[in-house]
Amino acid sequence: MAHAKHEEGNKGELDPCSHFLIVAYGIQGHLNPARTLARRLARIGGCKATLSIQLCGYRRMFPSLKNSSEISDGVISYIPFSDGKDDGSWPKDTEQRIQSHKATFKSLSAIVNDFASRGRPITSMMCTISMPVVFEVAREHKIPLAVYWIQPATTLATYYHYFHGYDELIHAHSTEPTYEVSFPGLYPLKICDMPTFFTETTPNELSITIMQALQELFQQIDQERPMVLVNTFTALESIALEAIKPYMDIIDVGPAVPPLGALHGQQQDEKDYMEWLDMQLENSVVYLSFGSMITYTKRQLEEILEGLGECGRPYLWMVRKEGCMEVVDFDLQVVEGGKGMVVEWCDQLQVLFHPSLGCFVTHCGWNSTLEAIVAGVPMVAVPSWSDQPLNAHLVEKEWSVGVRAVRDAEGVLTQKELVRCVELVMGDSEKAMKVKEKANNLKTKAHDVLVTSGPLEISLRGFINRIQDQKGHVSI
């Protein structure tokens, strides 16, 4: 592995014994914000940070390693834990979930004990949302714990109220997509804009596992009142942050956007997409990516390619091979005239910041949404599951930095709808001009947080002080 260059800028020494263990799932949606937070903590006054992810994710990050030992990139350390499912699969039933829970507890406890034996004791633990087992480990070792909520504050408030009396109302109207629910302190939300887990009629094992973990997480938040770090910032979600404050101790620490060129869990595609982008006109390229978990049907691939052809704009489309494995007779290729490029992987942040980018057609995962906001790129939101519909609602209705595409009855983004949405944000209409203006304004607000580091450092120092107070240290 090529070690990342050491980042400088430590200011104001804190307790040199502060050592944070951030525990996350080894998937991009959890890994990216967890790593970014760990690196920010490690740059504050002598603190140390270690990121622990599932063994299967660790092996993808560091494929050249022969063992599963701790490794450092010069800023933070990485160490894997085993959840008993080291092949990367999810537990399929209750018994497997119990066994995975036990394996995770045992593995994380061993990590905590090992650090203590080496003179580097863990002084605080954090977990990314649906990992309530970390509460048990922290309790067992008497270590202060914080929850890192890696989705919007609006989603945090929505889940909280779902598990505190609103579930029956939502279930009663689950087949009415336009029915509005008013949560305390929030603007009304339609059923179709809520997390998909709320209204699934036949949830699969993954959905069941996630919802059970989230319910347990909120029960523990109620009982133990840990600090909750939220991957957002005040200028973006002031209403939602205020709405959730009466129920939990929160600190906004976002946007958790990694620096350009940061390590990624994938290898760069052989095609030189950056050189291709350099040849395109400013604000002309349509970039498409639907995340690391989406799979395509043959019809969906055809509709997208035909839509891109009809748009006539240059495009860069990131499509993983794994997402097309069932489409054995479909050949993804560059369309005539050299208008487009299809890659298996790309550095998304680097692409979004390229001056040729005109819009981002996205599944609206929170990481991708935040990256587009920081880059000031208008979005075409094509949500699928989890928090993505709510993120799409925020993009279109609350921030007006994009439009939401409507899938057909089969759940397909059609050629016609893709063309309509791309033109709405990239054309010369009054609507397009307003979207671009709003996107640029929100980019400025995000940069006010990121570039100066002031608000972020104040938030993180406040968090560190509270942790030190819990451990009996003197606050700065």
Which amino acid is residue 397, in one-letter code?
Answer: K
What DSSP character marks residue 40?
A: H
Do the domains at 19-156+193-260+451-470 and 273-449 have one common CATH topology?
A: yes
pLDDT band at 474 (very low <50, low <70, confident <90, very high): very low
CATH 3.40.50.2000 holds for 19-156+193-260+451-470? yes
Question: Each residue of 354-381: pLDDT tens digit?
Answer: 999 999 999 999 999 999 999 999 999 9
Is residue 265 predicted with pLDDT exceeding 60? Answer: no
- Spatial distance between the Cα atoms of 354 and 285, rounded to a whole number of angstroms: 10
Closest-CA residue to 377 (of 397, 393, 361, 396):
361
Is residue 7 predicted with pLDDT exceeding 80? Answer: no
Domain boundaries, the chain: 19-156+193-260+451-470, 273-449
Question: Each residue of 311-342: pLDDT tens digit?
Answer: 999 999 998 766 554 554 555 555 445 588 98
- Spatial distance between the Cα atoms of 41 and 15, rounded to a whole number of angstroms: 12
**What would the DSSP string read from start to end of 56-115?**
HHHHHH-TT-SS---EE-SS-EEEEE--S-TTSPPP-SHHHHHHHHHHHHHHHHHHHHHH
- Do you know the residue count of the chain? 476
pLDDT band at 476 (very low <50, low <70, confident <90, very high): very low
- Spatial distance between the Cα atoms of 111 and 22, rounded to a whole number of angstroms: 12
Question: Each residue of 47-76: pLDDT tens digit?
Answer: 899 999 999 889 888 888 877 789 999 999
Q: Report the range of poorest mean pLDDT among 116-130, 171-185, 359-373.
A: 116-130
- Spatial distance between the Cα atoms of 112 and 114, rounded to a whole number of angstroms: 5
Asked if residues 237 and 153 have their Cβ atoms less than 8 Å apart, the reply is yes
CA distances from 50 to 115, 165, 219, 250, 465 (A): 10, 37, 27, 22, 19
Is residue 470 predicted with pLDDT exceeding 50? Answer: yes
- b/e per residue, 163-201, with b = 16+ CB within 10 A? beebeeebeebeeeeebebebebbeebbbbbbbbbbbee
Query: Which ranges in 141-279 belong to alpha helices (H)?
Result: 153-161, 167-172, 205-224, 234-244, 273-278
Question: Each residue of 198-214: pLDDT tens digit?
Answer: 999 888 888 888 999 99
Asked if residues 37 and 256 have their Cβ atoms less than 8 Å apart, the reply is yes
Closest-CA residue to 8 (of 75, 73, 76):
75
DSSP strand pairing (180-181 vs 189-190): antiparallel
Torsion of Cα atoms, 51 then 227 then 183 then 239, to 10°: -90
- Spatial distance between the Cα atoms of 209 and 205, rounded to a whole number of angstroms: 6
Say what the pLDDT of residue 215 is. Answer: 95
Torsion over CA: 271, 275, 281, 286 (sign): positive
Say what the pLDDT of residue 333 is. Answer: 53
CATH 3.40.50.720 holds for 273-449? no
User: Is cis: bond before 255, omega within 30 of 0?
Assistant: yes
pLDDT band at 429 (very low <50, low <70, confident <90, very high): very high
Query: Which ranges in 142-192 belong to alpha helices (H)?
Result: 153-161, 167-172
Question: Each residue of 11-49: pLDDT tens digit?
Answer: 444 455 689 999 998 888 899 999 999 998 998 877 899
**Taking all residues of the chain, what is their mean pLDDT, rounded to a whole number?**
87
- Spatial distance between the Cα atoms of 418 and 424, rounded to a whole number of angstroms: 10
Asked if residues 54 and 87 have their Cβ atoms less than 8 Å apart, the reply is no
Is residue 412 predicted with pLDDT exceeding 60? Answer: yes
Active site residues: 30
